[in-house]
Amino acid sequence: MTTTTTTTPRLQGKTAVITGGATGIGFAAAKRFVDDGAFVFIFGRRQDALDAALAQLGPNARAVQGSIFDPADLDRLYAQVKDERGSLDIIFANAGTGGVLPLGEITAEQIDDTFDTNVKGTIFTVQKALPLLGPGASIILTGSSAGTTGAPAFSVYSASKAAVRNLARSWAEDLKGSGIRVNVLSPGPTATELAKAAVGEEGLKMFASMNPLQRMAEPAEIAAGAAFLASDDSSFMTASELAVDGGLAQL
């Protein structure tokens, strides 16, 4: 007689918010989370991209348009989460930006745009989610291999991601005893729309050549790391950095 064993999806019944969730790593994570049993809210600025993503994610997802720059937009996002789901188990603060300018050409606009998104936006994305989080919740911040390595013309972006890495360390102290975990997911060069726009095809080839695997990551490969940090499989991890970077920052 043959018996069939069924495995419960590891994010079954959990509710997640993913910022920058309409494209790239964010969308890949949303798809993976839904496949793993979660109910997912994706948050982003472009309604057309959100609509396209939602059409692929299906009934266990919602799309909320807004900017992490705008506190009122974040309030509206979390109000909808509370109304529909009551609480929140996973926040993936993934929205980010970056551009390439070498020392000598760095502008105030580049600094403001990069730090407002990658640092200030991340801070308020998480801070405003706190009332919905409880013991066992997982906060995931998108870092980067650039946060620990040097790259020409990437100093502003790299500095912003180094700041994100420290946010996780400091917040783990702030959250001590709450049962809430906070970790950083640090991708290496990944074939996303943002990366292509930031560095171009030649830039992608250059970054691909710098890691031992000699290729770019696919967004789904980074999403697998996010799913691990979101799940109870990583229940004894906090203040940690999970590098999914092809070895780029490890050698």
| Structure confidence at residue 201 (pLDDT) | 77
Phi and psi of 61, rounded to 5°? Answer: -145, 155
6-31 pLDDT, tens digit per residue, is 688 999 999 999 999 999 999 999 99
Measured CA angle at 221 (ends 43, 189), to 5 deg? 85
Tokens of 20: 């920058």
Closest of 146, 154, 136 to residue 211, by C-alpha: 146
Contact yes or no for 244/225 (Cβ under 8 A): yes
Catalytic residues: 157, 161
Closest of 169, 97, 108 to residue 139, by C-alpha: 169
Domains annotated on the chain, with CATH: 15-244 (3.40.50.720)
Dist. CA 91–CA 70, nearest whole Å: 17
Pairing of strands 39-44, 181-187: unpaired
Q: 193 Cβ partners below 8 Å, 6+ apart?
A: 23, 24
Where is mean pLDDT largest: 146-155, 173-182, 207-216?
173-182
Confidence band, pLDDT 50/70/90 cuts, at residue 185: very high
pLDDT above 60 for 1: no
pLDDT above 60 for 4: no
Beta bridge partners of 19: 43
pLDDT above 90 for 203: no
Measured CA angle at 25 (ends 209, 22), to 5 deg? 140
Residue 216 gets which letter from DSSP? P
The percent of residues in the chain predicted with pLDDT above 90, rounded, is 84
